[in-house]
């Protein structure tokens, strides 16, 4: 580790650790010798908004243990780790993924970054827009259903986007299928009329075994159900158009994206096609606009005033200084039910690393295990551990002031009241009549409050987390853009199919039991 950084990490671990109650105490306000604001001033210091075209999002980090001294050391750490230069490299389209010699150009798809790359990205989006609009106007016949086949980054973003924004099915209904387990594809078939179904095959590489196997079965289903030109019903979303052509997709229905856009950062590219199919291109573009507002904030704001960098400071403070192994995210909004899943890949596939970008062993933990769910359901299931368990789990709450439903306003009022009450309860705790009824409190949370959960806000939320992961990676000195950890298991699965050295006795016995031992 860089020597200056090592000193700063040590300094962070030696700072006093006031409780949240102490940090909020108004006696700190302007009191003699107190340079740390409490109460309202603390809320003001640690909250900020990112404005969108309509409305915006509030990011309140005041219920975390960040204080001025912690922030100051993290700001020094950012300097020691060359954060500003790394951020410039990201947006300039320079190589930020050294193990694969690649840039990470996802922000160009929302209009941020190197102008030549932005131009190329915009042309790709326009091409997608033309196809989406042509299909909506009947160019491929009457299309009512879309089965989107992909996995990992080629499925999680589309599933989230469609679920969050596509509930009033204005254009066509979308089924995202990722699992190789045929039960998943059969479930989608059961809901679709083959005569009116389009298949999107989404794969950056166009080689992923789960996706290609599901795609073959979808073609077979179309053929068996009277669609003579099954390939004519396929749209390919890929950074490897040659493979898609080889597989039989006509070039006019291939929507390419750049090799320099990572799978888990690809929702903005043609991988977002099913979102545009479900909600229309205007909303898809609004999602890009929301993300661009976050890019602008992230790119142009320095130090702890940068809301994303500040979130990364808190994340690292909890994982590296307070020893938290997990971070939980609870969306108090049914439409964001898939957001924790999306974040899991983003955070854990990006920052679940054990070497630095310089190939040195990393010192200290990296990505927290990211988990979560929706409120209020989660309150009745896992919150017991958050309030009284032995783990310290920093929590993010995400909510929208405007409701997503048109029922009695009581629904949304109760939803939001619960969301805010949980953050307050985690922080305040309560002395109990006996140990079983005691709540220790001092448990941190952050609240992300959208004015409304529209397409722009969703784009902003996702971009906020992309940059948060990037900022954490830079401060830890790791490369967030590769994912070699997923390769070994894939290779070993293939070895079962193609033959190879025997595995350990346990695995061989399992293969035998499942009738899979007959490999050569
Ligand atoms: O195995 C991991 C991974 O490579 C992810 O990073 C990616 O999002 C997913 O597989 C799917 O890959 P592809 O889009 O190439 O099918």
The pLDDT assigned to 277 comes to 97
106-285 under CATH 3.40.50.261, yes or no = no
- Express each pLDDT in 15-71 by its tens digit: 999 999 999 996 665 444 457 888 899 999 999 999 999 999 999 999 999 999 999
How far is residue 97's CA from residue 354's CA, in Å, rounded to a whole number?
A: 15
Contact 211, 282 (CB under 8 A): no
pLDDT number for residue 37: 85
- By percentage, how much of the chain surpasses pLDDT 70? 97
CA of 475 to the centre of ligand 1 (A): 26
Nearest atom within ligand 1 for CA of residue 154: 14
Q: How far is the CA of 132 from the centre of ligand 1 (A)?
A: 24
Å from CA of 202 to ligand 1 middle? 10
- Of ligand 1's listed atoms, the one at least distance from the Cα of 238 is 14
Q: What is the pLDDT of residues 395-449, one digit of tens each?
A: 999 999 999 999 999 999 999 999 999 999 999 999 999 999 999 999 999 999 9
Same CATH topology for 3-30+49-80+301-429+436-480 and 106-285?
A: yes
Mutate to test the pocket of ligand 1, among 263, 265, 341 (most ligand atoms within 8 A of CB): 263
Average pLDDT over residues 465-490: 96
Helix (H) or strand (E) holding 20: helix 20-24
Give the per-residue pLDDT at 33.
42
pLDDT of residue 34: 55
Nearest CA to ligand 1 atom 9: 152
pLDDT digits (tens, 9 = 90+) for 160-193: 999 999 987 668 999 999 999 999 999 999 999 9
- Residue 290: band (very low, low, confident or very high) from pLDDT cuts 50, 70, 90: very high
Name the pTM for this structure.
Answer: 0.97
pLDDT score at 519: 56
Pocket test for ligand 1, best of 99, 151, 273 (most atoms within 8 A of CB): 151
Tell whether the model's pLDDT for residue 520 goes beyond 50.
no
When pLDDT is cut at 50, 70 and 90, the band that residue 2 belongs to is confident
Distance (Å) from CA 101 to ligand 1 centroid: 18
Look at residue 36 in the predicted model and tell me its pLDDT. Answer: 81
Q: Return the residue whose CA atom lies nearest to atom 5 of ligand 1.
A: 152
- The 10 Å Cβ neighbour count of residue 87 is 22
Q: How confident is the model at residue 500 (pLDDT cuts 50, 70, 90)?
A: confident
Residues 249-258: tens digit of each pLDDT: 999 999 999 9
Mutate which of 159, 204, 239 to test ligand 1's pocket (most atoms within 8 Å of Cβ)?
A: 204
Catalytic (active-site) positions: 349, 380, 490
Where do the structural domains in the chain lie, given as residue ranges? 3-30+49-80+301-429+436-480, 106-285, 487-520
Residues 73-92 have a mean pLDDT of 98
Task: Give the pLDDT confidence score for residue 26 in this predicted structure.
Answer: 67
Average of per-residue pLDDT across 301-316:
98
Residue 153 Cα: closest atom of ligand 1: 8
Q: To which residue do tokens 């909506």 refer? A: 136
H helices of 345-391, where? 350-351, 383-388
Give the mean pLDDT of the chain: 95
Please state, in angstroms and rounded to a whole number, the distance separating the CA atoms of residues 196 and 144: 5
CB 214 within 8 A of CB 185: yes
Token pair for 373: 């769910």
CA of residue 96 to ligand 1 center, whole Å: 19
Per CATH, the architecture of 3-30+49-80+301-429+436-480 is what?
A: 3-Layer(aba) Sandwich (3.40)
pLDDT value at residue 499: 74
What is the Å distance from ligand 1's center to 504 Cα? 27
Q: Whose CA is nearest to atom 2 of ligand 1?
A: 486
Nearest by Cα to 460 from 54, 46, 48, 56: 56
Q: Which of 110-124, 132-146, 487-501 comes out lowest in average pLDDT? A: 487-501
358 φ/ψ angles, rounded to the nearest 5 degrees: -90, 15
Nearest CA to ligand 1 atom 1: 486
Residues within 6 Å of ligand 1 by CB: 151-154, 203-205, 208, 211, 263-264, 349, 483, 486
- pLDDT tens for 368-401 read 999 999 999 999 999 999 999 999 999 999 999 9
- pLDDT tens string 107-137: 999 999 999 999 999 999 999 999 999 999 9
User: pLDDT tens across 211-234, in order?
Assistant: 999 999 999 999 999 999 999 999
């Amino acid at each position: 580790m860089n020597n200056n950084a090592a000193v700063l990490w040590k300094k962070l671990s030696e700072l006093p650790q006031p409780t949240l109650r102490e940090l909020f105490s108004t006696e700190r306000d302007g009191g003699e010798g107190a340079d740390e604001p409490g109460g309202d001033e603390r809320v003001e210091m640690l909250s900020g908004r990112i404005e969108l075209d309509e409305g915006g999002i509030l990011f309140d980090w005041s219920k975390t243990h960040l204080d001025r001294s912690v922030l100051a050391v993290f700001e020094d750490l950012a300097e020691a780790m060359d954060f500003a230069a790394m951020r410039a490299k990201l947006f300039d389209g320079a190589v930020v993924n050294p193990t694969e010699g690649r840039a990470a150009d996802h922000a160009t798809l929302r209009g941020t970054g190197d102008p030549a790359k932005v131009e190329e990205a915009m042309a790709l989006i326009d091409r997608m827009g033309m196809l989406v609009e042509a299909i909506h106007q009947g160019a491929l016949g009457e299309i009512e259903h879309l089965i989107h086949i992909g996995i990992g980054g080629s499925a999680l973003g589309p599933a989230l986007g469609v679920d969050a924004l596509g509930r009033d099915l204005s254009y066509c209904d979308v089924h995202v299928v990722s699992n190789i387990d045929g039960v998943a594809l059969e479930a989608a078939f059961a809901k679709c009329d083959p005569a009116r179904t389009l298949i999107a095959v989404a794969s950056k590489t166009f080689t992923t075994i789960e996706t290609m196997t599901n795609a073959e079965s979808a073609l077979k289903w179309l053929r068996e159900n009277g669609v003579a030109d099954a390939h004519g019903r396929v749209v390919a979303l890929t950074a490897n158009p040659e493979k898609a052509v080889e597989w039989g997709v006509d070039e006019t229905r291939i929507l390419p994206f750049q090799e320099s856009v990572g799978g888990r950062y690809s929702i903005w590219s043609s991988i977002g096609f099913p979102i545009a199919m479900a909600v229309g291109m205007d909303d898809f573009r609004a999602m890009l606009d929301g993300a661009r507002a976050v890019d602008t904030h992230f790119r142009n704001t320095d130090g702890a005033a940068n809301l994303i960098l500040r979130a990364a400071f808190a994340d690292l403070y909890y994982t590296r200084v307070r020893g938290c192994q997990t971070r939980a995210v609870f969306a108090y909004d049914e439409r964001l039910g898939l957001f924790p899943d999306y974040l899991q890949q983003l955070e854990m596939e990006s920052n679940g690393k054990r070497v630095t970008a310089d190939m040195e062993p990393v010192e200290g933990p990296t990505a927290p295990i990211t988990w979560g769910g929706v409120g209020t359901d989660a309150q009745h299931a896992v919150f017991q551990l958050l309030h009284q368990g032995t783990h310290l789990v920093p929590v993010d709450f995400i909510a929208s002031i405007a409701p997503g439903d048109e029922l009695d306003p009581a629904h949304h009022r109760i939803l939001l009241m619960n969301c805010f009450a949980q953050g307050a309860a985690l922080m305040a705790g309560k002395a109990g009549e006996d140990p079983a009824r005691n709540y220790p409190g001092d448990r941190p949370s952050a609240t992300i409050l959208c004015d409304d959960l529209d397409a722009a806000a969703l784009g902003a939320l996702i971009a906020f987390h992309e940059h948060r992961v990037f900022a954490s990676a830079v401060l830890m000195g790791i490369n967030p853009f590769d994912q070699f950890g997923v390769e070994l298991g894939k290779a070993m699965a293939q070895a079962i199919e193609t033959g190879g050295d025997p595995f350990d006795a346990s695995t061989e016995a399992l293969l035998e039991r499942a009738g899979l031992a007959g490999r050569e």
